[in-house]
Structure 1
Amino acid sequence: MPILLLAAVVVAFDQWSKYYVESHMQLGMSIPLIENVFHLTYVLNPGAAFGMLEHRTSFFIVVALLLVAAVVYFYPRIPPGHLLLRTGIGLQVGGAVGNVIDRVKTGYVIDFFDFRIWPVFNIADMAIVGGVGMIILSILRSQQKEGQHE
């Protein structure tokens, strides 16, 4: 099942990158890679995107577990040939699991990509956003195809 492989690769890369940041940087440390544009900044995020719903660790864990359960249930029902949808689901699940691992271990998510005009984020966040984007695009394409056949 390729979705499991994609999700596992996302989790592995996400956890490795967080371990690397955690073991090579001090909390709050910021390393400019492109001055005033892109930094590696080690922060702990107690919430979701943009720091929303801070310290709601149990809520986020439950939501992630529900997401994984929904994928386990619905994934086999996706008709073959929907590669964009399947890839999006794999990215989203991998990202959700990557961040849940942090939440279970510490109650926080390790973030480090800092573009200075956007909240600091991590690889799991990128996978979630990219996966959701692919899922939306897949749905829009399906609706477009249905509209053409009417």
Structure 2
Amino acid sequence: MHLLYVISILIIILDQLTKHGAIKYLKDNKPIAVIDNFLEFNYVENFGAAFGILQNCRIFFIIITLIVIIAIFVFFRKNFYFLNKGMKVSLVMLLAGAIGNLIDRIRFGYVVDFISVKFKNGYGFPVFNIADSFIVISTILIIYMVLFDKYKV
């Protein structure tokens, strides 16, 4: 159980440190190319949700995020001994990602995004951050485990 708390805290710290770096080094500056024509660091203030949808709904997102965080905690406490390690880690990743973006919404009124991926066909994936990555990866893992009944001990 303690290891799960440590994982969650480390994810939140990593997320907040990288966002701090984005603010310090990328805000009001040109994007930094990491891999030419594919990956760059580009500061973006996201006032919406994933992929920039529902712009300027700060209070709505804070309330929804708090509900999700509480729901994860309640689910986790009620089912802790019935869940396998993969599901526990996935829930912790989801929780930490949600908390990371919630911190931004409360502090700044928006979420700091800075990872930009562009594909050869010209499609530019929406700019995202570390918390978003953990939210997406954990959601995919949770869906897989639930669909294939692989989340129980």
Question: Considering the TM-score relative to the shorter chain, is it more than 0.5?
Answer: yes
Q: Which runs of 5+ in 2 are unaligned?
A: 119-123
Q: Which runs of 5+ in 1 are unaligned?
A: 146-150
Q: Counterpart amino acid of 2:9?
A: A
Which residue does the alignment assign to 2:50? 49
User: Equivalent residue of 1:53, what SS?
Assistant: coil
User: Equivalent residue of 1:39, what SS?
Assistant: strand
- Which residue of 109, 113, 124 corresponds with 2:131? 124
Q: Counterpart amino acid of 1:29?
A: K
Q: Is the 8 A contact 2:26 2:41 kept in 1?
A: no
Which residue does the alignment assign to 1:24? 25
Q: Is the aligned partner of 1:95 residue 2:97?
A: yes
| Cα distance between partner residues in 1 of 2:29 and 2:47 | 14
| Cα distance between partner residues in 2 of 1:69 and 1:87 | 17
Q: Which runs of structure 2 are paired with 1:1-150 in the superposition (5 Å)?
A: 1=1, 2-27=3-28, 29-78=30-79, 79-80=81-82, 82-116=84-118, 117-142=124-149
Quick one: structure 1 residues 81 and 65, their matched pair in 2 at CA, closer, same or farther if it must change by over 3 Å? closer
Q: Counterpart amino acid of 1:16?
A: L
* TM-aligned CA deviation for residue 138 of structure 1: 1.3
CA RMSD of the aligned region, Å?
1.9
Identify which range, 3-12 or 33-42, moves more after superposition. Answer: 3-12
The normalised TM-score by structure 1 is 0.89
| Cα distance between partner residues in 1 of 2:131 and 2:41 | 16
The normalised TM-score by structure 2 is 0.87
